[in-house]
Amino acid sequence: MGTQIGELVEKEIIELDALSNKTVGVDSFNILYQFLSNIRGQDGSPLMDSEGNVTSHLTGLFYRTTNLLSRDIKPVFVFDGKPHSLKEKTREKRRAIRTAAEQKMLEAKEKGDLETAKKFAQQTSRLTKEMVEEAKLLAEFMGLPVIQAPSDGEAQISQMTEKGKLFGCVSQDFDSLLFGTPVLLRNITIGGKRKVPGRNIYVESFPEKIELQKALEKNEIDRKKLVWIAILIGNDFNEKFPKIGPKTALKLVKEFDDFESIIKKTTQEIDFDWKEVEKIFLEPEYEDNFKIEFKNADKEKIIELLCEKHQFSKERVSGTLERLQKKLDEKGQQSALGQWF
pLDDT tens for the chain, residues 1 to 341 = 567 899 999 999 999 999 999 999 999 999 999 999 999 988 788 999 999 999 999 999 999 999 999 999 999 999 999 999 898 777 777 777 778 877 887 777 878 787 887 777 777 788 999 999 999 999 999 999 999 999 999 999 999 999 999 999 999 999 999 999 999 999 999 866 665 655 556 678 899 999 999 999 999 999 999 999 999 999 999 999 999 999 999 999 999 999 999 999 998 889 899 999 999 999 999 999 999 999 999 999 999 999 999 999 999 999 999 999 999 888 774 555 555 65
CATH number (domain holding residue 61):
3.40.50.1010
Helix (H) or strand (E) holding 212: helix 212-219
Domain range for 28: 6-220
Into how many domains does the chain fold? 1
**Quick one: 8 exposed, middle or buried, by C-beta within 10 A (0-12, 13-18, 19+)?**
buried
Residue 137 lies in a domain: yes
| Rounded Cα–Cα distance for residues 13 and 5 (Å) | 18
Backbone φ and ψ for 193, nearest 5 degrees, come out as: -125, 145
Residue 18 lies in a domain: yes
Residue 233 lies in a domain: no
Based on its alpha-carbon atoms, the radius of gyration of the chain, rounded to whole angstroms, reads: 21
| Rounded Cα–Cα distance for residues 242 and 255 (Å) | 19
Residue 328 lies in a domain: no
Backbone φ and ψ for 251, nearest 5 degrees, come out as: -60, -40
pTM above 0.85, yes or no: yes
Answer for the pair 277, 226: CB distance below 8 angstroms, yes or no.
no
Phi-psi domain of 204 (left: phi exceeds 0; alpha: psi -120 through 50; beta: other): beta
Residue 239 lies in a domain: no
Greatest alpha-carbon span in the chain: 64
- Closest Cα to residue 231, out of 1, 20, 3? 3
Q: What sign has the CA pseudo-torsion 330, 336, 339, 341?
A: negative
Residue 78 lies in a domain: yes
Residue 121 lies in a domain: yes
340: amino acid identity, one letter: W
Residue 114 lies in a domain: yes
